[in-house]
Amino acid sequence: MALTLNRPRSRRAGRHGEPRRPARGRASAPLPPIPANRRRKLAGRSAFAALLVLAITTGSLAGLILVYSADLPQIQELEQYRPSTITDLYDRKGRVIGSFALERREVVGYDGFAPILREAVISIEDKNFESHGGVNVFRVIGAAWHDIRSHGRAQGASTLTMQLARNLFLSDERTVSRKMQEAYLAIQIERAFTKQQIFTLYANQIYLGSGNYGFEAASEYFFSKHAKDLTLTEAALLAGLPKGPVAFSPIFNPDKALRRRNLVLSEMESDGVITHAQAEAARQASLGFHLAEPQSSVAPWFQDEVREELDKRFGSDEVHEAGLRVDTTLDLDLQKVANRAVADGLAAYEQRHGWRGHLENILTAGQSLVAYRHPDWAVGYGPGDYVHALVTRVLPLEIHARIGPPGEPDDEILLLPQDWQWTGQRYGDDLVKPGDMIYVQLSDSTDGGVRRAALEQDSGVQGALLAIDNTSGDVLAMVGGRDYALSVFNRATQAQRQVGSSFKPYVYTAAIENGVKPTDIILDTPVHFGGYVPHNYENDYKGAMTIANAFAESRNIPALKLAARIGIHKVIDIAHQFGVTSDIPAFLPIALGAVGITLKEQVASYSVFPNDGIRVAPHLIRKVSNADAILLWQDKPAVKEVISQQTARTMITLLEAVVQHGTGAAAVQLHHPLGGKTGTTSDFTDAWFLGFSPSVTCGVWIGYDSRESLGDKETGARAALPIWIDFMRAAIANHPDEQFPGVEAEPPLNTAAIPAPASRSRATPARFVTHRIQ
């Protein structure tokens, strides 16, 4: 509580407190002298009163310090203080792939700040920094007097040390009590640390806007350079930000930022840090900031999965503030291949189905060409990337658009007739109009200095890809959708989609464990199971055929007969043993994949076959270390035997046949040991391909979130397999001589050369050949 002390008036004082003047015409009588003993008594009383006031003041101050410092942290804690820093993610080869942070901060030492920056900060924030003991007494007294008159609304006057104390230990509450705590802590900090240490702590801690903490992070963000390399004008701009990171932001308030920068320059000039000529030249310069290009994460869905796992294990605060090093399983090179393979595969699908039009127009929606920003534009992009663009001008033979805010030449793009030839339209103004949002693939060529692009289409079709290392379970690549900026939903791990014929390996595995062999014969003939009358995809029947051929050609009738023979419950049990967690109803059509399973679970299941029956659980993180490189956690994936080695190797011969001459025969172009299986659901709503080499298993899914049809004949072999081939071409490049386990002792079976026998033989048990389920 602030007290106002009023000096009492003298009885002989005038109305305003002045000594009363003697009346005109009257002489004032001389006062009698004060006796010496009385003067001694008055002096003694005055001294006693002064000592009493001093004691009361000292006691009050001591009491206030005791009250306000009771709950304050010990300054010794600052010796172990670590500012919140960025947690970095690394791929399996030690390359940075992303980061997590609540506060974007790069901690550097005292020499990491340019001398001109240090001078600029001191000139504008705390001119007496080098000489005071933590508190500028005169400024504090002035601020306190202002606070008393304004009934507690605290004025500034904080030194750098006081600002540091507030940022580290206190709230932003503007009260007298907090100011006293701030001053007390500042004095303690000054006693414990050198000026260089204090400045370094301050310069790494202070908030400077746009999510940046500390001058190093702000320098990299605003000028794309280190703080030690700042020029005079750049240093002055940053030095002006602590007072108001938003108010003086060069992005949001450039005029205020310019005036604030020039004020810093004037203060530096008055302090003798720079000459008048230097100050004048700097004042004439523009803001000149060069924002660092936003970096898109090459694996955003993978990064989200890692974040979720780390949050569960360490807690969100530790993950986002402790500056951890997270070594992940990702292979950056393969991830880039996966991104391009999915994008190219979806573009090929779109062009197969022709130009649909129906473009969103922002002008119709009441938005402006100047103000519009698309989510895609928040990240970086380059040649070959697919991005949404805003049409700004259309001529018969030219389409002009932009892929960023207006005014940036690099964001202007040009499309010429050859770039939309696939649409069947001759003129650009028949295709689009200003305000339309189009989807383009950027080129590396230019025309008249303007970047070229090709017209593509985004109908909403989605794709997902997941690849793992067979031996370790390391997730090597993950694509969770078409465009992370528009949808963060991870279709590789979260979407349960019907898997179609890619479920059949569970059926055939159960059959093989029940004694069936690849060379056994089964009848592909009409059949009904009660009221259920199944059909093959081609709506025909091939009669007697080997188990291997029935699997390679993905015939439905043989799969259903096998499931009925061994029991659908046995098939479901096998699927669960492989790691499928979906609740699978015990109905016979399940054998044809009428059940929703995630891509991640399917990929993990298929990796069991090249692993000789061993399932290694997919995992994302190899190890986590703290800022001191001390190992905090190392992941050990779960390993279990799912099927016998013999069953796994028999299944490999079936899965190889799919790639050699079955529905996946297009993959034979890779000339490598491969196995896999296509999957297509009813009405072509989902297209799958899952397959493996001896070292890598990869799965691809294509479909609409709305579960609409992909279109006639959009099978797994047509929609998903080309993406799988593009990815696996890179995945196997460094493994030219690999072979499946036991391949030398048991060469792959050439099932295409096995004719369907006209009559029963010892190799094909009669009970199996003639078995019919009514």
DSSP string, 233-253: HHHHHHHTSTT-TTTT-TTT-
SS3 at position 223: helix
| 307 CB-near residues (< 8 Å, 6+ apart) | 100, 319
Which tokens go with 544? 């007697």
Quickly tell me which residue has 């709506």 as its tokens.
539
- Give phi and psi for 732, each to the nearest 5: -95, 0
- Give phi and psi for 767, each to the nearest 5: -65, -25
Distance CA 180, CA 447 (A): 65
Task: Dihedral sign for Cα 108, 111, 117, 123, please.
Answer: positive
462: enclosing H helix or E strand: strand 461-469
- Tell me if 166 sits within 8 A of 187, measured CB to CB: no
Letter string b/e over residues 437-470, b meaning 16 or more CB atoms within 10 A of that residue's CB: bbbbbbbeeeeeeebbbbbbbbeebbbbbbbbbb
Distance CA 658, CA 660 (A): 6
What is the maximum alpha-carbon separation in the chain? 155
Distance CA 85, CA 104 (A): 7
Distance CA 606, CA 505 (A): 8
Distance CA 583, CA 42 (A): 99
272 Ramachandran zone, left/alpha/beta (phi>0; psi -120 to 50): left
DSSP string, 565-607: HH-HHHHHHHHHHTT--S-----GGGGGT-SEE-HHHHHHHHT
- Tell me if 706 sits within 8 A of 690, measured CB to CB: no
Distance CA 354, CA 350 (A): 7
- Residue 125 annotated in active site: yes
Distance CA 232, CA 162 (A): 26
Q: Other C-beta atoms within 10 Å of 228: how many? A: 16
- Tell me if 346 sits within 8 A of 702, measured CB to CB: yes
Pick the catalytic residue: 106, 119, 125, 412? 125
Distance CA 605, CA 591 (A): 16
Distance CA 499, CA 461 (A): 17
Alpha helices for 70-173 (secondary structure H): 115-125, 137-149, 160-169
Distance CA 527, CA 524 (A): 9
- For 75-170, strand residue ranges (E) read 87-90, 96-100, 104-105
- Residue 308 annotated in active site: no
Distance CA 457, CA 451 (A): 19
CA distance readout (Å), 46 to 12, 49, 57, 270, 406: 21, 5, 16, 46, 77
Residue type, 307: R
Quickly tell me which residue has 């339309």 as its tokens.
436
Pick the catalytic residue: 84, 219, 249, 501? 501
Task: Give the residue numbers annotated as catalytic, written as ranges.
Answer: 125, 501
